[in-house]
Amino acid sequence: MLLKQLASVSGCSAASIKYYRREGLLPPGEYVTATRQDYGRVHLERLQLIHVMREVADAPISAIRRLTELLDDPQVPQIRALQEAQAIALGTPTTGEATDSDDVEHPTVGRLLSQMGWPDIDSVPRRALDEALKTLAAWEMPDEIDAVMRYAVPMTEVARGDIEFIQQRPADAGRVSSDVVVMRAAAGTIAFDRLMRALRALGHVSLSVRSSEAEGGPAD
């Protein structure tokens, strides 16, 4: 498809597509003439990824460029790009980057990995969990292993469903591209985090109303 068609199908303006090309986020198309390029599924999927990172994750162009450089490097494994996307979605430094917090990891992190039988490896989510637990501790809220396990066990099943969705193949494609995997992972992290927060808040409200009704108090 030509630029005008790509803009129509992707919902991205031709001006934005040209900008992403100049910034190195979007690979060039195949030249059909000296001034016209042909674009395909690769470009459409990259634009979908850029849209999610820009509009959903609110990522700056510099962060998206780092991500796309990883995706376009054949020597870089997909898991590295996934970690970069997770870091953007979680607002957490990528693996190996320094943080302003104490270098000593919160003890509940290691205990959780051991009890869940998860690999004891460095990762972006592990760093995010460490930061979250330290925040809970600072606010004098539960940060012990028993409190965390109440969330970890059901979230494992949620994560299993997430992975099945991320790896689901489109009906008209034989393989899920790295761009689609990373896009789904980033969008899912943000969207389902919002869902979990909303459900938890709804539970708080509902249980409080039920408790008030049981005690004979006003329902509102």
* pLDDT tens-place string over residues 119-132: 999 888 898 899 99
Q: What is the pLDDT of residue 1?
A: 87
**Mean pLDDT of the region 66-72:** 94
Q: What is the DSSP string of 26-66?
A: S---EESSSS-EE--HHHHHHHHHHHIIIIIS---HHHHHH
200 lies in a domain?
yes
**Mean pLDDT of the region 5-11:** 92
Proportion of the chain in helix, strand, coil states, percent, rounded to 5: 65, 0, 35
Q: What is the DSSP letter of 121?
A: -
- Point out the least confidently predicted range of 56-65, 143-152, 189-198: 189-198
End-to-end CA, the chain: 57
Residue 73 belongs to domain spanning: 45-214
219 lies in a domain?
no
Q: What is the pLDDT of residue 98?
A: 47
Give the residue carrying structure tokens 């869940």.
116
Torsion of CA 147, 151, 156, 162, to 10 degrees: -150
Going by pLDDT thresholds of 50, 70 and 90, the confidence category of residue 68 is very high
4 lies in a domain?
no
16 lies in a domain?
no
66 lies in a domain?
yes
pTM score over 0.85: no
Domain count of the fold of the chain: 1
Token pair of 52 as six digits: 């999610």
Q: Is pLDDT of 45 > 70?
A: yes
Give the residue carrying structure tokens 């006003």.
218
d(CA 137, CA 106): 9
Token pair of 139 as six digits: 């606010």
Most trustworthy range by pLDDT among 27-36, 82-91, 134-143, 172-181: 134-143
136 lies in a domain?
yes
136 vs 192, which has greater pLDDT?
Answer: 136
207 lies in a domain?
yes
33 lies in a domain?
no
**Mean pLDDT of the region 176-199:** 87
**Phi, psi (deg, nearest 5) at residue 103:** -70, -20
